[in-house]
């Protein structure tokens, strides 16, 4: 028998065995990595604290609006000044000369206007007495001279005001009550406009910025009381929420929150001191289904049913299932929704790639409120 014919049964048998093995091999299920957040109860957050650095409510680097040699700086670091008090002065002589010059030009322009007006009046009187004695061209020329003189006066009046301002700008004054905390230039130095001369701050009120995670920022309307503790002084002072940022940081996913507080009577909080903020909440009673703030990317819709959903994650088996929610107001921080409960995990990214029963791996575990 031909040797090749002998190999045919063996080849067929091997193919059948290989095919059977392939049929018995299970298809490996894809486990998709998802970014997820955990819905948390409001009470959980009352014990959370936030670090920040104290800073003055008003703080500014004072600078001149004109150039020149600074002939005086009567304040030093630590000096307390009142609003309107002189803190530095530029030699005003050049600006005084410029003001006198433009004032002289204005005086001349006024005289020119008077002459032009007089010439015009004279020609009009002659024309009235003898209409043929004066041509209309001559009257038009006199009228043009008078109007030109008026325009020159308006321009020079504006120049006088500007020169007066420049002369006044040679005196640098405090815009509010405060303390000098830094000096940049010394007397008899040439300074340029907008070049910092001294730093002035008002420490009567203190502010502090803290960074609040996006999963907690929706609690801000329910904040009841806020305190800030300064360990360096061993005190805790009451504070208020002054401002809440409208956009989260792209890197930390936190919102900036500005706290403001009065100086305590028995101590003095200095800018730069570290503080720790805490707060309590006053949640409205009778709310059976509170609103939670979640990223818009967590929500998807069913066009046929006209309903909105999120992918809920079963923490025990790490699979997702569709969960209906009721969307509310869209804010700059996210979407307010109802239908969630504290402790539930939801996927917040890549929702279009998931399906019912999909096995997942949580990429960035956290909490969401």
Angle at 179 between CA 174 and CA 181, to 5 degrees: 105
Least confident range from 15-19, 102-106, 120-124, 237-241: namely 15-19
Residue 42 has pLDDT above 70, yes or no: no
**In a shared domain, residues 188 and 147:** no
Residue 113 pLDDT grade (very low, low, confident, very high; cuts 50, 70, 90):
very high
Asked if residue 20 is part of any domain, the answer here is no
CATH number of the domain bearing residue 262:
2.40.30.170
pTM of the model: 0.55
Which of these three, 243, 261, 281, is where a domain ends? 281
The CA-based diameter of the chain, rounded to the nearest angstrom, is 148
Give mean pLDDT, residues 50-64.
Answer: 92
| Residue 5 CB partners (closer than 8 Å, separation 6+) | none
Asked if residue 25 is part of any domain, the answer here is no
Residue 366 has pLDDT above 50, yes or no: no
Number of structural domains the chain divides into: 4
**In a shared domain, residues 151 and 218:** no
Residue 135 pLDDT grade (very low, low, confident, very high; cuts 50, 70, 90):
confident
Asked if residue 209 is part of any domain, the answer here is yes
pLDDT score recorded for residue 333: 62
**In a shared domain, residues 215 and 246:** yes
**In a shared domain, residues 215 and 270:** yes
Residue 288 pLDDT grade (very low, low, confident, very high; cuts 50, 70, 90):
very low
Whose tokens are 């001149």? That residue is: 64
pLDDT greater at residue 293 or residue 13: 293
**In a shared domain, residues 70 and 194:** yes
Question: Cα–Cα distance between 195 and 64 in angstroms, integer?
Answer: 7
Which residue segment(s) compose the domain that 343 sits in? 32-42+288-362
Give mean pLDDT, residues 309-333.
Answer: 86
pLDDT greater at residue 222 or residue 123: 123
CATH number of the domain bearing residue 347:
2.40.420.20
Residue 365 has pLDDT above 80, yes or no: no
Give mean pLDDT, residues 214-226.
Answer: 80
Average pLDDT score, the chain = 85
Asked if residue 83 is part of any domain, the answer here is yes
Residue 267 pLDDT grade (very low, low, confident, very high; cuts 50, 70, 90):
confident
pLDDT score recorded for residue 65: 95
Angle between helices 136-168 and 93-129 (to 10 degrees): 160
Asked if residue 369 is part of any domain, the answer here is no
Residue percentage of the chain with pLDDT more than 90: 49
CATH number of the domain bearing residue 71:
2.40.50.100
**In a shared domain, residues 98 and 164:** yes
Residue 368 has pLDDT above 50, yes or no: no
Asked if residue 18 is part of any domain, the answer here is no
pLDDT score recorded for residue 220: 80
Query: Comparing C-alpha atoms, which of 99, 109, 179, 106 is closest to residue 148?
Result: 109
**In a shared domain, residues 258 and 325:** no
How confident is the model over 138-167, as pLDDT tens digits?
989 999 999 999 999 999 999 999 999 999
Residue 290 has pLDDT above 70, yes or no: no
Question: Cα–Cα distance between 104 and 347 in angstroms, integer?
Answer: 77
Give mean pLDDT, residues 252-261.
Answer: 90
Residue-wise DSSP of 280-342? EE-PPTT-SS--EEE-GGG-EEETTTTEEEEEEEETTTTEEEEEEEEEEEEETTEEEEES--T
pLDDT score recorded for residue 15: 52
**In a shared domain, residues 292 and 357:** yes
**In a shared domain, residues 97 and 80:** no
Q: Which residues share a beta bridge with 213?
A: 254
pLDDT score recorded for residue 369: 41
pLDDT score recorded for residue 89: 97
Residue 19 has pLDDT above 60, yes or no: no
pLDDT greater at residue 240 or residue 40: 240
Residue 38 pLDDT grade (very low, low, confident, very high; cuts 50, 70, 90):
confident
Asked if residue 367 is part of any domain, the answer here is no
**In a shared domain, residues 248 and 270:** yes
Give mean pLDDT, residues 63-67.
Answer: 96
How confident is the model over 163-203, as pLDDT tens digits?
999 999 999 999 999 999 999 999 889 999 999 999 999 88
**In a shared domain, residues 176 and 298:** no
Give mean pLDDT, residues 285-311.
Answer: 78
Residue 97 pLDDT grade (very low, low, confident, very high; cuts 50, 70, 90):
very high
Asked if residue 312 is part of any domain, the answer here is yes
Residue 299 has a CB neighbour count (10 Å cut-off) of: 19
Residue 367 pLDDT grade (very low, low, confident, very high; cuts 50, 70, 90):
very low
**In a shared domain, residues 178 and 191:** yes
Question: Cα–Cα distance between 249 and 366 in angstroms, integer?
Answer: 16
């Amino acid at each position: 028998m031909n040797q090749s014919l002998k190999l045919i049964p063996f080849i067929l048998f091997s193919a059948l065995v290989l095919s059977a093995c392939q049929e018995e091999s299970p298809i490996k299920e894809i486990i998709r990595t998802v970014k997820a957040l955990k819905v948390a109860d409001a009470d959980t957050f009352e014990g959370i604290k936030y670090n920040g650095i104290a800073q003055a409510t008003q703080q500014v680097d004072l600078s001149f609006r004109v150039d020149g040699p600074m002939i005086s700086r009567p304040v030093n670091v630590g000096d307390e000044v009142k609003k309107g008090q002189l803190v530095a002065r530029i030699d005003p002589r050049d600006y005084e000369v410029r003001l006198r010059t433009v004032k002289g030009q204005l005086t001349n322009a006024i005289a020119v206007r008077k002459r032009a007006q007089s010439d015009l009046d004279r020609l009009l009187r002659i024309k009235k007495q003898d209409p043929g004695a004066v041509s209309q061209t001559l009257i038009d020329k006199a009228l043009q001279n008078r109007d030109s003189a008026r325009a020159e006066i308006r321009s020079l009046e504006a120049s006088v005001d500007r020169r007066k301002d420049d002369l006044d700008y040679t005196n640098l004054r405090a815009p509010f009550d405060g303390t000098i905390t830094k000096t940049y230039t010394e007397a008899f130095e040439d300074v340029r406009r907008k070049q910092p001369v001294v730093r002035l701050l008002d420490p009567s009120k203190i502010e502090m910025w803290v960074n609040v995670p996006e999963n907690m920022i929706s609690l801000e309307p329910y904040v009841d009381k806020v305190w800030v503790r300064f360990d360096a002084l061993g005190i805790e002072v009451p504070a208020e929420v002054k401002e809440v940022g409208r956009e989260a940081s792209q890197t930390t996913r936190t919102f900036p929150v500005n706290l403001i507080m009065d100086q305590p009577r028995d101590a003095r909080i200095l800018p730069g001191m570290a503080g720790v903020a805490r707060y309590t909440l006053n949640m409205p009673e009778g709310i059976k289904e509170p609103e939670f703030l979640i990223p818009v990317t967590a929500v998807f819709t069913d066009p046929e049913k006209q309903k909105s959903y999120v992918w809920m994650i079963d923490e025990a088996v790490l699979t997702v299932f569709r969960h209906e929610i009721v969307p509310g107001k869209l804010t700059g921080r996210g979407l307010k929704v109802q239908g969630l409960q504290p402790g539930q995990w939801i996927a917040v990214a890549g929702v279009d790639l998931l399906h019912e029963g999909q096995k997942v791996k949580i990429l960035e575990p956290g909490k969401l409120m």
